[in-house]
Amino acid sequence: MSTSAIHLDPLAVDVTLSDHSLHLRLADGREISAPLAWFPRLLDATPAQRENWRLIGNGIGVHWPELDEDVATETLLAVR
């Protein structure tokens, strides 16, 4: 009997931020969140700065140009 593993690339398609959390929606339907405390630049940013983001590498990460902050989707998935 053979088994096959499903390989899903963690590509972000949307980003939302609350007062305390970063939320990413992935192309495969998963949603991941992390506390803003993990990202001091985002935590200390104004709402306008937090909303000024762009996806990088077709969704492998998120970049905030005003804050010089990058977050990789794979990193968020790997944190235990």
d(CA 79, CA 74): 9
> Could you tell me if residue 35 is inside a domain?
yes
- Summarised one tens digit per residue, pLDDT across range 6-44 is 666 789 999 999 999 999 999 999 999 999 999 999 999
- Summarised one tens digit per residue, pLDDT across range 52-80 is 999 999 999 999 999 999 999 998 998 76
> Which residue range is the domain that position 64 belongs to?
12-78
> Could you tell me if residue 31 is inside a domain?
yes
> Could you tell me if residue 1 is inside a domain?
no
pLDDT recorded at residue 78: 87
Which CATH number covers residue 26? Answer: 3.30.2020.40
Q: Which of 53, 51, 47, 46 is nearest to 69 (CA)?
A: 53
> Could you tell me if residue 65 is inside a domain?
yes
> Could you tell me if residue 23 is inside a domain?
yes
Span between the terminal Cα atoms of the chain, in Å: 32
Higher pLDDT, 26 or 5: 26
**Amino acid at the residue 71:** V
Provide the domain count of the chain: 1
pLDDT recorded at residue 6: 63
